[in-house]
Structure 1
């Protein structure tokens, strides 16, 4: 089968597109993105995923394609069982067999669904055609509803799974995520914002919001310092992805200042492919793809 549906599932959205494995490109006009309330009942969330997948397939005139899915950890990717709990997302999907549910609703076999960590899929796409293409060793960090991380040694991509790394009085994800921003701003101002994107716009005129981004940048620098001690190689570059990374102009200087003060000098690059990196990586679970002479191996 030449056409594979590449799917990127996050805590607040699903993005998918049809990837032509023969032409090694996304089928034009098949990108579909929908907001998802990850706190809804499992049937509702999975139903929203299926609607997006089917809409994308319909745009390409295909159905019943194999799926490559990038989805956050913790997750039993082989069996397809969600193990996420107490992360402010997908609590009602805990212990649900996502592979079985999707297969039944989409009319395909379980064996037609491949799943892998979203950070790993993101990293794979970026290492081949994105921000990491000129580097051999890299550390990827995704900043969004949760905190993702992946290590790259050439085309060998592994989930670094550093989201629950001990950090200050809790774990890293409690300080480096959407909810930290929104909860912290509410505590300091009494105002609620729907997301970090809106808060970033507000930071143009609000010193409280600006200070939060600087504080976040400092926390990110501290996390990167810890992460580099956890992985067993020396990355040549840090690659930042996820929705919060789009507001890097508000926090990246603080991150680089923290690392410089710790004598850690290496480039920090923002992901170049956006949501397409995870979609390419997810689709690549099914077949080696060749982009600009590089091999995209099965994870």
Structure 2
């Protein structure tokens, strides 16, 4: 069996699992998910990541495997150097070689670590075994702590790198991310919420919360319109992933309404694999 540890690193968590590349299946009972303080010192973050990876490997009764890691941009994925700064996450990892640090902590060779953009890994996983299966060209958008994007042509995944696209009076990520929701709700209500999940729970009785999801949906439609023009290729399907996508019933009608006005009739599908899509895709880096 060809077993790889697939790893998904986000702004507030890490998830890992062993993946059987021959069967395109996660090895049962090897999933580990751990909350991580992305503002902690680099050594502490690396240690927390390593603990989760080692937990998955112990659950699968192995002591060593190659790693496929999905991690947000900007990042030098080939060299393993973190270039993230001023994004309210990983500031103390800036300009550090994550491949070297992880290899040292896990006692493996740095060449046994493959890294790629989290949105690209999400798309690769969905194209292999998820919502993109059966489609040749797809645009993937991850909605969470940040805004990820990738374009798939078969199993070839390109980082669309649309997070900093000029949008309204700033960039796209300022309007299509967790922080837009939480900042907007705080500015208009004076209440701080821990996450979009809690905001979604309020939407049934809170008109402000409900309205913010509708506004977000319209912004997402505008972003998709801009994205298709920028990449200059029309996808057969748009796949939405990330934690915000779990609340799609609150905003997707507004997204479709904007796209209909623009005569964009591309189907939108919600990622089928949830947090596992990036894990499958990260492991799949060793197949490409």
Q: Same fold (TM over 0.5)?
A: yes
2:51 paired with 1:51: yes
Matched pairs, number? 288
Instruction: Give the corresponding residue for 1:13.
Output: 13
- 1:2 is displaced (CA, Å) by 2.1
Cα distance in 2 for residues equivalent to 1:8 and 1:193: 25
SS of the residue corresponding to residue 150 of structure 1 reads: strand
In 2, the alpha carbon distance for the partners of 1:253 and 1:168 equals 21
**CA contact under 8 A between 2:24 and 2:129: conserved in structure 1?**
no
Which residue of structure 1 aligns with residue 250 of structure 2? 250
* Residue in structure 2 matched with residue 295 of structure 1 by the alignment: none
Q: CA deviation at 1:242?
A: 0.3
- Residues 13-71 of structure 1, C-alpha deviations (whole Å, 9 max, x = no match): 11110012234321110011111121222112111111111111110111221100011
Mapped partners of 2:157, 2:22: distance in 1 = 23
- SS of 1:15 mapped into structure 2: strand
Please give the per-residue CA displacement for 1:102-144, whole angstroms capped at 9, x wherever unaligned: 0000010111100011111110111121111122111000000
- 1:47-196 correspondence to structure 2 within 5 Å: 47-196=47-196
Task: Measure the CA separation in 2 of the matches of 1:257 and 1:214.
Answer: 10
Aligned to 1:37: 37
In structure 1, stretches of 5+ residues that fail to align are: 288-297
Q: Classify the secondary structure of the residue corresponding to 1:278.
A: helix
Partners of 1:262 and 1:3 lie apart in 2 by 45
For 2:213 and 2:75, how far apart are their aligned partners in 1? 30
SS in 2 for 1:8: strand
CA displacement, residues 58-89 of structure 1 (integer Å, 9 cap, x when unaligned) = 10111221100011110000000000111111
1:197-233 C-alpha deviation (Å, 9 max, x unpaired):
1111111211111111111101100000000001131
Counterpart contact for 2:7–2:278, Cα < 8 Å: yes
TM-score, structure 2 normalization: 0.98
Please give the residue correspondences for 1:197-216 in structure 2 after superposition, counting only pairs within 5 Å: 197-216=197-216
What secondary structure is seen at the aligned counterpart in 2 of 1:225? Answer: helix
* 3-state SS of paired residue (2:4): strand
| SS state at 1:263 partner | coil
For residues 162 and 127 of structure 1, the distance between their equivalents in structure 2, rounded to whole angstroms, comes to 20
5+ residue gaps, structure 2, are none
Tell me the alpha carbon deviations over residues 228-278 of structure 1, each in whole angstroms, 9 at most, x when there is no partner: 001131111110000000000110000010111111111111000111111
